[in-house]
């Protein structure tokens, strides 16, 4: 049976989470398939940030550290994120950037495994992960053992491995690793496991049970806004012994005693560093109000349906699918290879389809189930077919690379 736009509209009418679309600002004439890079703006965010600026900062001034709960934002925000990754209260701390958070987790894990000189990392981890691994290896005189996405991890493990850092969902292809199986394999070798959840949280159910450390960003599927705080999970069994190498004032046990020597706070709070970016927390917490109402099983079901639909509608175009065909192995994105992927995506964006390009040849489409419709997917497939069949991407203006691709 052929797929029709009317059939897609019927799917939208029966969609159990369709009402969440009204929670977001979605400009007319645009289908936004970039939620895996920067999530759409929640309607409630502007008012929440304005309140933090005009009332909390403007009127209450410094008293807001107490009255508005500014001081505790890393912990209270972390507790709101925790259920989305299968964690409990007091196990997640929100703050800093993803890169800083990766460094903190790596440094803590390395200190917990003295005498083991090797960090294992995937060559297809996001470049930020790779760069931080390189910096940590240099700073702590460790070695890096890189594996490919299809490599046998077991062959890279051994008594010399201290920690393994992997992405749960591959940012390029959307391939999903089996978190439980990989974690068990790594820990059986005596190493610690760190998971990067940047492309997982808010896209599919996550369960970090048994994991040593995990981290992620909040500006993708969680819609926290550009530069929104990252988060770190530290397993309760490690919280007492784990050391935050960036021993900042906000992670001190008694910061307002102003002692000259550092004494780490109990629990995950010791992984706090500097002053929380209050306005960014305001934006993130506005979005988390939405996520507290979301059933992740429904999100995952719709994600699978949307990506399946897109693949079915575009498979006749002859593009090479870089994303796993099996939905169990696929996150909430679809990536295709094209030798002229960059100008193809530029042409699509000009026609109202917002995806992105990842060098050297990937055009990438992210599917955020809370605000994407089935009819949107139908329209995008037709637009992609038009761009390719008419070779609209050959226009000279699309050949010049912009700074952000």
Residue 268 phi/psi, 5-degree rounding, is -70, -15
Given 364, 367, 373, 374, the catalytic residue: 364
How far is the C-alpha of 16 from the C-alpha of 94, rounded, in Å?
30
Q: In what order do the strands lie in the sheet with 92-94?
A: 92-94, 231-234, 213-216, 192-196, 161-167, 118-122, 143-147
State the catalytic residue, choosing from 24, 32, 219, 233.
219
Count Cβ atoms below 10 Å from residue 127 Cβ, excluding itself: 9
Residue count of the chain: 405
- Residue 231: partners with Cβ closer than 8 Å, 6 or more residues away: 77, 78, 81, 92, 93, 94, 95, 101, 215, 216, 218
Q: CA 331 to CA 178: how far, in whole Å?
A: 12
Q: Which of 15, 79, 122, 196 is catalytic?
A: 196
User: Would you call 364 a catalytic residue per the annotation?
Assistant: yes
To the nearest 10 degrees (0 to 180), the angle between helices 296-314 and 374-389 is: 30
Q: Is 336 a catalytic residue?
A: no
From the list 24, 126, 231, 398, the catalytic residue is: 126
Any catalytic annotation for residue 220?
yes
Q: State how far the alpha carbon of 156 is from the alpha carbons of 47, 144, 202, 249, in Å.
A: 50, 11, 31, 38
Q: How far apart (Å, rounded) are the C-alpha atoms in residues 222 and 84?
A: 10
Q: Pick from 383, 335, 381, 382: which is nearest to 358 by CA? A: 335
Question: Which one of 177, 220, 302, 373 is the catalytic residue?
Answer: 220
- Residue 256 designated active-site: no
Q: Ramachandran region of residue 214, left (φ > 0), alpha (ψ -120 to 50) or beta?
A: beta
Q: Is 219 a catalytic residue?
A: yes
| CA 264 to chain CA mean position, Å | 28
Instruction: Kindly list the catalytic residues.
Output: 126, 196, 219-220, 364
């Amino acid at each position: 049976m052929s797929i029709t736009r009317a059939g897609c509209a019927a799917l939208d009418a029966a969609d159990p989470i369709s009402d969440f679309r009204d929670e977001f600002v979605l400009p007319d004439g645009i289908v936004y398939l970039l939620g895996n890079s920067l999530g759409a703006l929640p309607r409630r965010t502007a008012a929440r940030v304005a309140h933090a600026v005009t009332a909390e900062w403007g009127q209450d001034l410094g008293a807001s550290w107490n009255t508005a709960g500014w001081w505790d934002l890393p912990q209270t925000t972390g507790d709101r994120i925790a259920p989305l990754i299968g964690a409990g209260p007091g196990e997640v701390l929100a703050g800093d950037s993803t890169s800083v958070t990766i460094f903190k987790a790596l440094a803590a894990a390395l200190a917990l495994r003295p005498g083991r000189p090797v960090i294992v990392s995937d060559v297809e981890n996001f470049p930020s992960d790779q760069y931080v691994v390189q910096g940590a290896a240099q700073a702590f005189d460790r070695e890096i053992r890189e594996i490919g996405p299809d490599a046998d991890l077991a062959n890279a493990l051994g008594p010399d491995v201290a920690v393994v850092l992997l992405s749960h969902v591959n940012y390029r292809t959307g391939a999903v690793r089996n978190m439980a199986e990989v974690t068990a394999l790594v820990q059986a070798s005596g190493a610690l496991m760190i998971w990067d959840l940047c492309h997982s949280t808010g896209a599919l159910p996550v369960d970090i049970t048994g994991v040593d450390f995990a981290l992620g960003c909040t500006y993708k599927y969680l819609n926290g806004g550009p530069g929104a705080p990252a988060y770190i999970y530290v397993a309760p069994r490690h919280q007492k012994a784990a050391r935050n190498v960036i021993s900042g004032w906000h992670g001190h046990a008694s910061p307002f005693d102003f002692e000259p020597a550092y004494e780490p706070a109990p629990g995950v709070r010791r992984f706090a560093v500097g002053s929380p970016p209050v306005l960014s927390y305001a934006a993130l917490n506005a979005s988390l109000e939405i996520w507290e109402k979301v059933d992740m099983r429904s999100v995952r079901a719709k994600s699978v349906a949307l990506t399946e639909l897109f693949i079915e509608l575009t498979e006749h175009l002859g593009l090479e699918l870089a994303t796993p065909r099996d939905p169990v192995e696929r996150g909430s994105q679809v990536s295709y290879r094209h030798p002229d992927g960059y100008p193809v995506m530029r042409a699509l964006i000009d026609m109202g389809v917002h995806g992105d390009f990842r060098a050297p040849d990937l055009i990438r489409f992210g599917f955020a189930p809370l605000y994407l419709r089935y009819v949107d997917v139908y329209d995008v497939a037709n637009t992609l077919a038009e761009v390719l069949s008419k070779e609209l991407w050959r226009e000279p203006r699309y050949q010049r690379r912009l700074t952000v691709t």
